[in-house]
Amino acid sequence: MKKNMSSADSAVRIVVAVVLAVLYFTGTLSGTLGIVGLVVAIVLLLTALSKSCLLYMPFGISTCKSE
């Protein structure tokens, strides 16, 4: 997959994913909201590690400077 995310974008996604995971595992987020938050955290972490966002592709968005 083509990379379309900058390092700053990836860092923000990783921080948000970690915060959501911590909130889930400490019990602050629970039930359906907790599961949704955990799924969002996993998706954010996977997109940050791959540096490719599927939602950016149809709109032609790229925050990566190395085109």
The whole-angstrom separation of Cα 49 and Cα 24 is 21
Q: What is the mean pLDDT of each run of 10 residues along the chain (67 residues)?
A: 88 96 95 96 95 87 76
Q: What's the predicted TM-score (pTM) here?
A: 0.85
The whole-angstrom separation of Cα 16 and Cα 56 is 18
Span between the terminal Cα atoms of the chain, in Å: 13
